[in-house]
Structure 1
């Protein structure tokens, strides 16, 4: 007896339930299923009348949860005969069918069925009520933990006064019933883990595989007088009249900003939220005024005290998004654009979480919002960079494909066990809205570009110091290799150089290297950049005197300082783009370079000016320091090589001879970027920024071991 009481007490403490016989009645006369059937009919009736109160949504969620729970119980109940089990499951199937049809009328109901959907106190109370009516005894719940007040360290949230005025002027948000009804189907792929295979389908793309969704021929698209759309731009705008999600991954320089603004106009996706890096938000406001002048744009600075809350286009930068998330999720946006979308690739960052949160709220509120992710370099370090972008667009969640993408995968009739699944899956994802065009294909009137290497000798003390540091790094790599080789067990000998071990040693060195010593690959490249600075500035000055305006790119501030001092000494007028500039100063410097014929050079930081800057007034670029990715180098060159350029573009890349600089330049040239492999169907190997650092160390160690073998 004591043991029985103990079990019952434990059941109450843990919130478990006990099924109570319903006076011996057959289950078809009582039990929980009739309760669920009655509740689901009430939900169906309310949705048909478009009277979807919060209580209706709660009832929908509860019926779905209890039907799922009852199905599992019936399948596990060994006391039921097969015929009785079949009857009960058939009744539950009828309830599930009504739920699916009802959710098809209001797609926002699907959000209540996700794994992360919150079950609030009202839902829990209704669960207890239905279970009790169905003859199930429900124990008392464990009290919910006390809510903790937000700490002072949490982000400060603001609501601009003009936004409050807009809310008062429009107190009711008109419901949007434009979402298409999703078909109900049993999912053959539901038991598969699909995200991994979807990503691999892009890694394994065949040479020449298409990377762009089928786009319609453009109809009449009105643009302001004096402006003209190129054909590839008009295709995207035409598609936006029907399609609603795009990863616009055109190569840099093909006019993605104009496409996004006109797509929003074609889709009537106002108000439109545009999330951008800080360095380009003023440019977005300018482009909006230029391409869609009938739709006023406003830019959020700081707390947003100066914004126009009634504007059609609201532009906010990633850096201040956190303090505006609250009201942005409630304003009723019908469209959202994320510029330089590779900025959200790290899903654990606050920046990414805020973007995904706002996008999810828009999808819940609006039946078919326009969602656009813009980036010329969607993949930088890893194929997994796709994950956050696809989630922003609503194609996937944390675990699986969603909605139309899942339907498209089902339509293939294939599973990841079959090789044909991968090209079919890639095509299914692309048709969700990936748009990738290359300049060579759609903008043949843009003159060609080329990269010209200029080898330079590092003389004097700086050159000797760099060569000594490289030699010390190489000796350390060789010693580490020899130590690992000696520690191996017998039977693992490899004739000649063990290239697998070489790669592992390079990886260890990259992870363990101390940047402060100046003897790892990071510090070495920075010292090489400083040593090249004067030479790069000299060459830039010669170009400016002979061919006109020049764009000078460097990675480090001290290299920029040396270059600017050189130009000042020569009497060459220059402008500058740095990361610590205000938006006004940055805009002023760009305008002076573009419009003032006396400004001959603009000195740019790779980090601050690598994106969102139009400098096609020049046709010559000097790369004083090498990038760590091919994508970053391309982004820099494409500030000049873009629509509006009418001269051939040359990027002059200064390479320090007889140093690791030469090896890194070779690696960049022989390894394609991820986008070339995954989106453009290139057969070339993929290399990321981390890989590039490792490859440089591999080259140093391999050369040293080869020299030792020849000498030995």
Structure 2
């Protein structure tokens, strides 16, 4: 108990001085773990009397109370109390030290995590897709490339422990120290027609053109990291290129690759990879299925690897991190200087321990020592950790290896004041199949109505025959369907129930993306149409310890204002979940510059009103609205129609008012599109 009390006191003093470091966070978590274990030991110890047990419990409760008080003063500590909180090696080491100080036998150090090629469950799930086998047979001599290998540096730092001092240099930087490497001026880049690069994007590509090959690209969300990575691979000739990404953005990566590098083939790995093109230039895989493919990926001859949302690998003990690091090791064994890019919007200087795995992925460090490039840069300082000036020089050496960090406010002149970014997602598994089948049945019912109307007209001898599809009759069928359907109908098979089911299916994906934004860019406004989608999103945030509030139609004025005040004024409230109809007007949320539209509205005006809760007077940063769209469903059709109608409305401005399209028009047009496609498909197969 005295050891725990002293540790709690140290953390309290650090909070008082405003000098909390990663070591203090680790010490706090170690105390919480030991207190939890001690409570379990007391419960199970039959040798204790009731009086002894009660006394020890009271003392433990005192420790727990002090931990809670510290967390109330330093909210970042709350996450360390969660049962599923990640436990770093630093925490485990401090825990062992405290056990030794208390005269206890410390827990043995954990064995190193097995690599994915060992006999592990991940290895047993490993697979080699047939198309990959064919590619391997077609290219049997994938010669490793060591043409750019550099000699290992040797000098005064041999024998020094350097990783700790380098991390310390980031944890205690000199005021005003740069968080971004010097980037060359933009230079012309050949792009597909209709696309343009912003100056801050072009600077990164200029660095690639000059030979730079490793980047920790930490621009804030909305600044075009995906495009920078894809074009960097093109400039570096880093094909085949592997992109490891979260599932929620997998489809978007494939779309962006086709947009920015249309001359390159793209293939996405799903599950065991049965549909992958082994000859593709760009291969996209999500973290969740990477374990099945590490084996062949490591031998495939990839010349570049991009890891999106790289903070996913911050816990080196996780299987996910081990797999990504193994891929990097294997790629670097085959190439001296592959293109390696870690993309994350998470600020660089929070808990620098989180960046060990990212630096290792990039080859900047190894398990216990700097990599060759970093070691050479540290040698060039002609100093050692005994010199005070070594630390800022070491920090700059790491930054120069490829840290790029720009905020929206820094490049506000480069980007539009307001923009909508579509994020297509795939509805996979049983839910995806169910929605695809429901959409097919809706289309077939519309086809049946069309055929019946056509036959009725023929039987009465009315009207001239139309070659092919009768567009006028298609529209009448769609209008009748909309007129007979109800937006309140949750059980039918009409367009409204279809859109609602899609919204429900997107809930977790949209909430997951909002959580990523909250983690990396600050406060997020989350819009949805239906209460069940809002409920699902709030449950998701609560399960992940993300503090949030909400605005709904059934709230009193007082409750609504309290929700707004909490979001605007409390730095620990990261998300506000809003109803599109209840919160679309009359509120100011410009404390955020990121909006997530989990469900589509039926009109552009409703969508614009939602975005304008953030994009208004007082906003100092460009605003990005992330529109979550279910790919290959009627959701995508609706998005296209809303955009098309918005363009028509903009062209219809006459100096007084904007010609706005009604929601019924979009509903009808969506069904017209669905029915037309079904009739065309039917005529092709007939």
Q: Shorter-chain TM-score: which interval?
A: 0.3 to 0.5
What's the TM-score, normalizing by structure 1? Answer: 0.46
What's the TM-score, normalizing by structure 2? Answer: 0.47
Query: Which of 1 and 2 has greater Rg?
Result: 1
